[in-house]
Structure 1
């Protein structure tokens, strides 16, 4: 009987070993002797090193972590992620595994689990999950980072307890990678694929001698005199020190206009007063301005004109009365029924899908409509602003580019700027128009002035009043609203409410126009794609800029 049991046990073990070794997809296998010697290990490097060129001399054992440090990892795995997931549930197909599972990343500090994240299916790519046995990615990439999934993971870790755990001093950082799949209502997690440790000397909270930090001397600029009003200079010095130390990252410019005069003007990270800066979606607000100017001039009757007034939509896919009756108002308030949502990666109208096409207007007009969406529901829809640009281009004399120059930029004294263009050569109203930071400030001051510049009414007060009306409530936000391609939020500073209308763009780019304060504030930044891009700007506003300049 005992011999029989031993035979059965051996058969079971053999079956299990065979099942575990049977892969569902073909991986790249063990790729080098270095890989073979480090299977199951995560190593860290201070910069990007191609896996083929890695050597043990690149491996970090200790590292000084500052706000300007970069930190990359390389995980050496015995198999690909898909094959690890297959072991968790052998009956599920590779396609199903791709939709239900991914990597699970964990970060521990001094032996305590601080953050664990099951990456959503989608990133990294299906090909990487199926084939790769070495994973090399940045956790922190201050120099060239644009918000890769691995950088986003580190950002979530820091916001979820990492910043509190990594106090200045020595710490042990441990990283672990496992596979997971989502089954029904639960997640099933596999064994370790790779793990690694790094001793850190943390220095993330620099201290400054404010006496050696100088604020820039401001020179007059066309249309803007220099203010002599007082402000809390130490607050701005501390902010400047934090930017230069990398606490606030990739900030390029800060301009404060108070009572129509230049109060603060600082530049960072290689930019100057003469730099043309890409503010991304800040440029959308310029489309609102030009729609208003065109309506005032009679080239467009009003914002309630419909798409059927400008296009023969019978030539487009998915045509319907709902599409034909879509108005400029719905596009300018991001409340149309187009099935497009830039905050939903699976949305057919997501802007990333548009950029891959040869005709952005056709892309937008061909989109299906979402009849199940509540009428007037706000959703961020860049392709709709491209349609607004095309409507302008065909409605105003000489086309959009010439009209914008004659009716907006020249009256503001703005002569040095650069449009981005659609594939059809039309100025891209989706964003990206490059101006000097100080010219963005002039644009904001135009709105603060009720549309008047140098005694001339450039945009009607009526249009600005409509623009600065709380047209749509922003879902998922606390007391924030949307107007005519402008956002609205209220800061609370020293128990004082400070309401602002603002333009916003990827990377942390903002033009703030305050309702009850004599302030226009511009922040330019290049933290494109980074999760911290917007949050750090609001922190700067709340902790440093507004307390320094509000009476």
Structure 2
């Protein structure tokens, strides 16, 4: 260790955070730190896990902005006219898009049936089959498989695949390379996707519908662009990509899980908000200080808390930089 705080910070990451692939930090729209670790480079994409949820939140916002979706109070089943409700099932009829965005939709399971859903031919239908039950609408229930219903809504509302809609309306305007569809055939493929050092694409079901709760790969710079877009109120190169109202609504408290606040598939933390993904992937935005922090990480169980890393080490160090 030495007297250079940046060098000390880099040493900390290299030695105490073995799965971090890269960290980028911007302030006032300018990159003040960008470094890669463990042989990763700026061109390498990683699976960002549940950060995918926050990207899909942006896509729902764009669909609302463009009129494909009237509003998020619309009932989920309006987008699936051919879906047959099970006999005696009533709760599902009242679930709205907003319930999915705020994790307040009820589901018929205690623990998420990943294998059951991802071994089916239609992951959206499998998620719809799990929607409803005896729980009350409005209670916070975090779900990954259930959020796949939003992919079905985007597909049916826009008439485009999720990947094409995202490319046309979000990725291409931001200069993010269009991902390819990625597929899994079995549990081994799924585990390989999570654990492989180099992965690309956006996971899709056998029908080609991309996942909404996980499965997207992005580079560190891609993540930074998403964060900067939100910090800019949806404006990019003079063009309004996403309405500022949607961003404000998405990043203010709409539901709670214990002491944690939740917006529209964004977590509300400290003086800002964050997209959080398993393994320690994060897009963190502090609007007051105009700071964006992005961390790309390889999957590992029980990764060290990135919010704590930002709070204890990153903000005190980079907040002083003009």
What is the TM-score with the length of structure 2 in the denominator? 0.87
The one of 293, 307, 310 aligned to 2:76: 307
Residue by residue over 1:385-422, the C-alpha shift from the partner in whole angstroms, topping out at 9 and shown as x without a partner, is 20001110111143322211111111111125432212
Deviation at 1:238, TM superposition (A): 1.6
Give the secondary structure class of the aligned counterpart of 2:212. Answer: coil
Give the secondary structure class of the aligned counterpart of 2:145. Answer: helix
d(CA) in 2 for partners of 1:391, 1:360: 13
> In the alignment, is the contact (CA less than 8 A) between 1:488 and 1:501 conserved in 2?
yes
Task: Indicate yes or no: 2:316 matched with 1:542.
Answer: no
d(CA) in 2 for partners of 1:410, 1:512: 22
> In the alignment, is the contact (CA less than 8 A) between 2:130 and 2:146 conserved in 1?
no
> In the alignment, is the contact (CA less than 8 A) between 1:334 and 1:380 conserved in 2?
yes
What is the RMSD computed on CA atoms of the aligned residues?
A: 1.9
Residue matched to 2:42 = 273
Residue matched to 2:283 = 511
Residue by residue over 1:157-191, the C-alpha shift from the partner in whole angstroms, topping out at 9 and shown as x without a partner, is xxxxxxxxxxxxxxxxxxxxxxxxxxxxxxxxxxx
Q: After the TM superposition, which residues 70-149 of structure 1 pair with which residues of structure 2 at under 5 Å, given as runs? A: none
Unmatched 5+ residue regions in structure 1?
1-207, 212-233, 341-345, 491-498
Residue matched to 1:420 = 203
Residue by residue over 1:114-139, the C-alpha shift from the partner in whole angstroms, topping out at 9 and shown as x without a partner, is xxxxxxxxxxxxxxxxxxxxxxxxxx
d(CA) in 2 for partners of 1:416, 1:391: 21
Residue by residue over 1:193-227, the C-alpha shift from the partner in whole angstroms, topping out at 9 and shown as x without a partner, is xxxxxxxxxxxxxxx3x37xxxxxxxxxxxxxxxx
d(CA) in 1 for partners of 2:116, 2:30: 43
Residue matched to 1:168 = none
Q: After the TM superposition, which residues 184-223 of structure 1 pair with which residues of structure 2 at under 5 Å, given as runs? A: 208=1, 210=2
Residue by residue over 1:237-289, the C-alpha shift from the partner in whole angstroms, topping out at 9 and shown as x without a partner, is 222112223x2221111000100011100101121111111111111111111
d(CA) in 2 for partners of 1:527, 1:402: 27
Give the secondary structure class of the aligned counterpart of 1:383. Answer: coil
> In the alignment, is the contact (CA less than 8 A) between 2:261 and 2:268 conserved in 1?
yes
Deviation at 1:368, TM superposition (A): 5.7
Deviation at 1:384, TM superposition (A): 2.5
Task: Indicate yes or no: 2:163 matched with 1:391.
Answer: no
What is the TM-score with the length of structure 1 in the denominator? 0.52
Give the secondary structure class of the aligned counterpart of 1:411. Answer: helix
Residue matched to 2:272 = 500
d(CA) in 2 for partners of 1:265, 1:294: 33
d(CA) in 2 for partners of 1:297, 1:526: 35
d(CA) in 2 for partners of 1:506, 1:364: 21
Closer/same/farther in 2, CA of residues 545 and 301 from structure 1, 3 Å limit: same
Q: Which fold has the larger relative contact order, with Cα–Cα distance below 8 Å and residues 6 or more apart in sequence? A: 2
Q: After the TM superposition, which residues 230-379 of structure 1 pair with which residues of structure 2 at under 5 Å, given as runs? A: 234-245=4-15, 247-312=16-81, 315-317=84-86, 320-340=89-109, 346-347=110-111, 349-367=112-130, 369-371=132-134, 373-379=135-141
Unmatched 5+ residue regions in structure 2?
180-200
Residue matched to 1:382 = 144
Closer/same/farther in 2, CA of residues 368 and 319 from structure 1, 3 Å limit: farther
Task: Indicate yes or no: 2:232 matched with 1:462.
Answer: no
Deviation at 1:470, TM superposition (A): 0.3
Residue by residue over 1:33-71, the C-alpha shift from the partner in whole angstroms, topping out at 9 and shown as x without a partner, is xxxxxxxxxxxxxxxxxxxxxxxxxxxxxxxxxxxxxxx
Give the secondary structure class of the aligned counterpart of 1:501. Answer: strand
> In the alignment, is the contact (CA less than 8 A) between 2:131 and 2:146 conserved in 1?
no
Deviation at 1:319, TM superposition (A): 6.0
Deviation at 1:357, TM superposition (A): 2.6
Tell me which protein shows more strand as a share of its residues: 1
How many residue pairs match? The answer is 299
The one of 370, 393, 400 aligned to 2:162: 400
d(CA) in 2 for partners of 1:464, 1:366: 31
> In the alignment, is the contact (CA less than 8 A) between 2:17 and 2:304 conserved in 1?
no
Rg larger in structure:
1
Residue by residue over 1:301-334, the C-alpha shift from the partner in whole angstroms, topping out at 9 and shown as x without a partner, is 1111112211247624466231022100000111
Residue by residue over 1:459-509, the C-alpha shift from the partner in whole angstroms, topping out at 9 and shown as x without a partner, is 01111111011001122x3xx20000100111xxxxxxxx12110111100
> In the alignment, is the contact (CA less than 8 A) between 1:282 and 1:432 conserved in 2?
no
